[in-house]
Amino acid sequence: MARRLTHTLLWGLVAALALAVLVGPGRPALIALLAGDLPALRAAVAEAGLWAPLISAILMIVQGVLAPLPAFLITLANAALFGWLWGALLSWTSALLAAWLCFAIARWLGRPGVERFVPPQALAATDRFFARFGTQAVLVARLLPVVPFDAISYGAGLTPMSTARFLIATGIGQAPATLIYSYAGERVGSAGPILLAAAGVVALVAVIWVWRRRPPT
């Protein structure tokens, strides 16, 4: 009974978040995100007024749970609207919540439930990623922008990894890119390209360091 209630509350939360951006005030922002239009996304979130931070957070959560959308655009928009520091905090917090929600769905529903969200080939790739990197897989994945955010979060929920360990690894791993994207978002057209290049270098160095210390296969 308790498990069924938990599932009901979980799906209710996901449905409410989805409705908020699909048919609610966040719909223009979602359309802009789907189009990859940063100026339109920034304008759509700004039009929400006092609700802008909440709309941005919901959009970040929905993109992490339901669709592989470009989260970095939300981060850039947040920085432009709220300043790089507060924008980074909003992006980091909402992305962390999105990751936890994916992790919780996988933990509660198991592999059959995850397969509703993640294509089999992506889930198989995630399995290999965890087999290679072990407990460091989440940290490595967050440092690599090419690794799907949602697939790793769902995959982690299928492992014995604790929720606390998952959240710590996610929070630490996504912090450098979030800060750099946010700083670039507030200064688009000036230091942006240099900062993005720096983010790539930081991620590469971190991954090489972890790779050299991975468990032998």
Exposure string of 93-119, with b = 16+ CB inside 10 Å and e = fewer, is ebbbbbbbbbbbbbbebeeebbeebbe
Q: How far apart are CA 205 and CA 120, in angstroms?
A: 30
In a domain, 217, yes or no: no
- What is the pLDDT at residue 190? 45
Tell me, yes or no, whether 133 lies in a domain: yes
Per-residue pLDDT of the chain (217 residues; tens, 9 = 90+): 545 555 555 656 666 666 655 556 677 887 888 788 888 888 988 988 888 898 898 888 888 877 667 788 898 889 989 988 899 999 999 999 999 989 988 988 888 888 877 888 888 888 888 888 877 888 888 877 667 788 889 999 999 899 999 999 999 888 888 888 888 777 654 444 555 555 566 666 665 655 555 555 5
| pLDDT for residue 87 | 92
Q: What is the pLDDT of residue 170?
A: 93
Number of domains in the chain: 1
Domain that holds residue 196: 2-212
Q: Looking at residue 89, what is its pLDDT?
A: 94
Report d(CA 146, CA 37) in Å as an integer.
20
pTM over 0.95: no
Residue 1's Cβ-count burial label (10 Å; 0-12, 13-18, 19+) is exposed
> Given this model, what pLDDT does residue 200 score?
60
DSSP character at residue 216:
P
